[in-house]
Structure formats: C-alpha cells, structure tokens
Amino acid sequence: MEWIRIQVKGQSFMLHQIRKMIGMAVAVARGFAVMEDVYSTFNHESVDVPRIPGLGLYLDSVFFDFYNKKFQQSHPPLSWEEWDEEIEAFKADQIVSEILRQEKKHEIIKQWLSNLYHHKYEARCRHAGNSPLPAPATQDGDNDEDEDDDDDENGDGDEQRGEQEEGTSRASA
C-alpha cells in the first residue's frame, strides 16, 4: 500500500477544504483533471471537486505562536515539544496503524480512486430547487455564476467555517 504524507498548516480551515484540496491534487496527478481545472476553482463559487475520504486525515499538531506572543509577559509559553516522542509513538501505534487497518479491510481510498472519472470538474450554478446544475455557458464560452449562490465550492450544501482563535493547526492526510 502506498502512503504519502502531506501536511497543511493554517490558521483555520473551511469544512472539507483539505479533503477537496487533496482530492483535486490526486485528480490532477492521476490525469483526471488538469491545472486549468484547479484554476477554475478560484473563479467560481461552486465547482465539482472530488472530496477524498476522511480516512487518513487527522490533526497532527497545534501551534500556539499567536497565544505565546500575545501573553508572553503574563503566561509561560504553551508547547508540546516536551512530549514529542510520546506523541509520535502514539500516532504510529494507534492512529496510523488504525488507518492502515481500515483501508486494508474496507478499501475506502481504493474505491474512491476508482470513481474519480465520474467528476466533471466544472462550475455549477443553482436553479429554483437549489440543487446543483452545470453552469450555463455564455456567448463568450465562460460560465455565468448565480450571484445569489451561497453554497460552498463543491455544491454539496456544507459551507461552514472552522475557527481557531488562538492556535494554528496542521493536518496530515
């Protein structure tokens, strides 16, 4: 079984943002999408983007840089470095081993990969029933987006924002 470690560090993430970023990267790497499809996601509110399953995605660490700087005069800094060895052992023994066990048993990622060809990687718009439809082409060939569209870029109705006020997180997939 192949395993690639990808780390994403940020202040906060939207719901499914990392899964969609990794899903699109896999689609490009496997030849189902091209870089033009990636750029298209920045220009449209709703695009058919493959969302890789959550198996393998976990919060790897939290950074308290902002907190430590803000409260350096009144509080000792927050840090996990003292427990790095224990944390790495726990991840290997409990988290990574369970991810591999689940993939071997259920072939979740393998099944997802076999369905990548179903995605069209195209912009979508909304009609009165609020279900996604491909965006209509204008005369110049561009897709018009519905200005009232308040859905996320996948068009699956799960637009939300995950906030972290004092920390920065890094997720691994």
Q: Is 108 exposed, middle or buried (0-12, 13-18, 19+ CB in 10 A)?
A: middle
Is 131 a residue whose pLDDT tops 60? no
Here the tokens at position 155 are 């068009």
Least confident of 19-28, 81-90, 135-144: 135-144
Residue 68 counted as domain residue: no
Q: How far apart are CA 37 and CA 134, in angstroms?
A: 14
Residue 170 counted as domain residue: no
> What residues form DSSP beta bridges with 61?
170
Q: Which CATH number do you get for residue 51? A: 3.30.70.660
- The pLDDT mean for the chain works out to 79
Give residues with Cβ within 8 angstroms of 83, minimum separation 6.
none
pLDDT tens track for 60-112: 888 899 999 999 999 999 999 999 999 999 999 999 999 999 999 999 999 99
Is 166 a residue whose pLDDT tops 70? no
Q: How many domains does the chain have?
A: 1
Residue 172 counted as domain residue: no
Here the tokens at position 51 are 């969302």
pLDDT of residue 46: 86
Q: Name the residue range of residue 40's domain.
A: 10-61+80-137+151-161
Residue 119 counted as domain residue: yes
Residue 88 counted as domain residue: yes
pLDDT of residue 132: 52
**H/E stretch holding 158:** none
Whether residue 126 contacts residue 149, with contact meaning beta carbons closer than 8 Å, is answered with yes
